[in-house]
Amino acid sequence: VERGRHTYLLDGDNVRMGLCRDLGFSDADREENIRRIAELGRLFVDAGLIVITAFISPFRADRDLARSIIGDDAFIEVFVDTPLAECERRDPKGLYGKARAGLIKNFT
């Protein structure tokens, strides 16, 4: 803000509770989730915001779709390689445990 830049964070908590609450975790739903996020991100970028998104996106095609919607000049992809055991240890919502119990299908 001091430099005149404004940011907005899009993540699973604020997107899946509203804009994408009708989507599950199938391949088609995951692709649609990323498409909606990219479209929303593009609108924010067009308004002059710096948009940071934090999503698990294991498929190259989905990331390429997001890049094509937002544009190469405004899209920076950051890959974070964290071991599965560490993801499970840090999981505050217990999603990994629910997935292991079969309560969340197609969890990545």
The per-residue pLDDT for range 5-33, each reduced to its tens digit, is 999 999 988 998 999 999 988 889 999 99
The tens digit of pLDDT for each residue in 69-95 reads 999 999 999 999 999 999 999 999 898
What is the domain-level CATH number for residue 29? 3.40.50.300
User: Is residue 34 domain-shared with residue 64, that is, in the same domain?
Assistant: yes
pTM greater than 0.85 (yes/no): no
Q: Which residue has the tokens 């890959």?
A: 79
pLDDT grade, residue 56 (50/70/90)? confident
User: Is residue 38 domain-shared with residue 51, that is, in the same domain?
Assistant: yes
**Given 57, 62, 66, 75, the catalytic residue:** 57
User: Is residue 30 domain-shared with residue 47, that is, in the same domain?
Assistant: yes
Q: Is 57 a catalytic residue?
A: yes
Which runs of E-coded beta strand occur in 39-104? Answer: 50-54
User: Is residue 47 domain-shared with residue 60, that is, in the same domain?
Assistant: yes
**What's the DSSP call for residue 7?**
E
User: Is residue 106 domain-shared with residue 72, that is, in the same domain?
Assistant: no
Domain-embedded: residue 1 = no
Residue range of the domain that includes 24: 7-77
> What is the total count of domains within the chain?
2
- In whole angstroms, what separates CA 12 from the centre of its chain? 6
